[in-house]
Amino acid sequence: MIGRMEIEVKYINNINRLIKNEPEYMELFNVFMIADDKTAKTRLNYINNVIRLVHYLKDSGVPTETIDDIGRLNVETIRKYIVDDDNHIIMKNGKISDSYKYIRYFSLNCFFKFLEDGDHISKNPMRKIKTPSNERMKKKVYLDVDEVKEIEKNVSSGNTKRSRLYLSQWNERDEAIINLGFHKALRVSAIISINIDDINWEDKSLSVIEKGNNPRHVHLSDGTIKILQSWVQKRNEYVRENGVKSPALFISNKSGRISQKTVGRILRAYAGDINKEKRIVPHTMRSSTGTNYYLKTGNARAVQQLLGQKSLAATQKYLDDTVQQRREITDTVEDLYGDDNE
């Protein structure tokens, strides 16, 4: 699974670059998170936020060289940092997002848990810091079955003004990405990390690496196989003509592995007017399928298996009270959106 490894290595290299000139406890914090099964991407985000705190303290004249220095921080200092950091971002960007405040909180919370675990602090100041609200995360945005079908129709027909920009040579690629996102409920990180050799055409399966570097084998319907074959044929032509050597299944016009940001732009382009009413992001594909499947089946265990999640608790975010009241019965995900290619 070179694709996923490439991405992980990129994050790890960025982590190493970040902590190279930082105090030794940053390396220990990284090791703590590795032991806690944090992904490289999460570790990078958390380390970035903690370094931001450390640099703020250093600029303010607060000692930060040793882990004992950091262990002397109190809740007042942390609160002042949060207020000053908010003000700095607002002055720079004109606003501050809920998601930034949310991630910053969990970054610092994890860091002080690390200090607490190593007995470097007597009192954890984060225990008195209120968890910021994140309206974006509270609001469960998903597309209903008709909206998903409309997006899939737009992929091939170019019904939306923006989607016409993505037609021609990339149409087959976009159709394959959107099919895997909706019909197989794959995370976008798994989709972009797929290599062409990860497809087993003979047994109609796909090998992916999911969150936490967990391998997973996904069965492919005849319809999905046909869509993938169409893209692979077009991809191979592009690779030959442009001398591309990337093993990635999904490449961009820059000849490298496609990014999550690009997948987001593609999805929103084909969503057309739907995107004006709902804030659509790549994860919307996965959350929509999880929600729609539960609405139709009422089977939480089946949703858990569909999403490839280890615990039922992780699946519950798709199954709020409103969803449970509206559930109906059907058989498969393909029944949701149809599989006209079969």
For residues 162 and 294, the model is more confident at 294
Number of CB atoms found within 10 A of residue 7's CB:
19
- DSSP for 240-290, please give it: HHHT----BSSB-TTSSBPPHHHHHHHHHHHHTTHHHHS---THHHHHHHH
Query: pLDDT band for position 136 (50/70/90)?
Result: low
Percent of the chain with pLDDT over 70: 82
* Per-residue pLDDT at 194: 93
Q: How confident is the model at residue 238 (pLDDT cuts 50, 70, 90)?
A: confident
Q: Is the pLDDT of residue 83 over 60?
A: yes
Is the pLDDT score of 97 beyond 90? no
Structural element, H or E, at residue 321 = helix 321-325
- pTM attached to this predicted model: 0.61
* CA nearest neighbour of 160 among 276, 273, 282: 273
Instruction: Identify any residues that bridge with 209 across adjacent strands, giving them in sequence order.
Output: 215
Q: Could you report the per-residue pLDDT of 270-324, keeping only the tens digit for each?
A: 887 786 677 788 888 988 888 888 888 877 777 877 777 766 666 665 555 444 4
Among 206, 185, 181, smallest CA distance to 196 is for 206
Q: What is the mean pLDDT of residues 102-114?
A: 94
Q: Does residue 8 carry a pLDDT above 80?
A: no
In this structure, of 98-112, 155-169, 204-218, the range with the lowest mean pLDDT score is 155-169
Poorest-confidence range of 76-90, 147-161, 173-187?
147-161
Q: Say if residue 56 is exposed, middle or buried (CB neighbours under 10 Å; 0-12, 13-18, 19+).
A: middle
Distances (CA, A) of 4 to 43, 103, 212, 327: 16, 23, 11, 36
Question: 193: which DSSP letter?
Answer: T
Q: Is the pLDDT of residue 162 over 80?
A: no
Mean pLDDT in residue range 78-82: 95
pLDDT at residue 294 in the model: 82
- Give the pLDDT of residue 161: 55
Residues belonging to the chain: 342
b vs e for 201-219, b when ≥16 Cβ sit within 10 Å of the residue's Cβ? eeeeebebbbbeeeeeebe
Question: Residue 177: which of 291, 259, 278, 280 has the closest Cα?
Answer: 259
Higher pLDDT, 278 or 22: 22
What does the pLDDT average to over 92-121?
Answer: 91
| Averaged pLDDT, 194-210 | 91
Residue 197 scores a pLDDT above 90? yes
Q: Which of 5-14, 65-74, 325-334 has the highest mean pLDDT?
A: 65-74
Nearest to 73 by CA among 49, 89, 95, 56: 56
pLDDT reading at 147 higher than 60: yes
Q: Give CA angle at 110 (107, 113), nearest 5°.
A: 150
pLDDT at residue 126 in the model: 93
**Percent of the chain beyond pLDDT 90?**
42
State the chain's mean pLDDT as an integer: 83
* Region of 152 on the Ramachandran plot (φ > 0 left; ψ -120 to 50 alpha; else beta): alpha
* CB-based contact 199:228 (threshold 8 Å): yes
Give CA–CA dist 284/269, Å, rounded: 14
Lowest-confidence segment of 25-39, 125-139, 205-219 by average pLDDT = 125-139
Mean pLDDT along residues 25-36: 93
Overall average pLDDT of the 158-174 stretch:
65
* 329 has pLDDT over 80: no
